[in-house]
Amino acid sequence: MVHRPQDLLYSVYALRDPLSGLVGYVGISSAPRRRLTAHLKPSRYNLQRNDWILDLQRRGLKPALDILRKGLPLEEAQNVEACWIHRYWACGMPLTNVMGATKMYSRNIARYLEHSWS
């Protein structure tokens, strides 16, 4: 059976440096552990994330996976992801997310920012 993206439930996750605890990336996936494995391979779309993960690998490390929210429909997961990216950027985390990549999904971001952090 082929699942359409809107039929799956998604997790919002953060990848962080396991030593410093600094968050380097926020994403969404229906299978976050499998997505982490995919992130360990170079991507032609996010060179900054590649460099960050390669630096960890040179030190014998890999990013730690933190599930921030789970069991979300796609649109909600995209909005929650955008909120976490905004929150981490505001906190000064060295995110490697491509600037604006989630902007098209964040029509309801103000509502999430008002209610999600309380």
The pTM for the full model equals 0.81
DSSP 38-55: HHTS--SS-HHHHHHHHH
Q: What b-and-e string marks burial along 4-21, b requiring 16 or more CB atoms within 10 Å of the CB?
A: eeeeeebbbbbbbbeeee
Strand ranges (E), the chain = 10-16, 23-29, 64-72
Place of tokens 């993206």: 5
pLDDT at 103 over 90: no
pLDDT at 17 over 80: yes
Domain span at 25: 5-115
pLDDT at 87 over 90: yes
Q: What is the CATH number of the domain that holds 40?
A: 3.40.1440
% of the chain at pLDDT higher than 90: 71
Q: Give the total number of structural domains in the chain.
A: 1
Q: Report the chain's mean pLDDT, rounded to a whole number.
A: 86
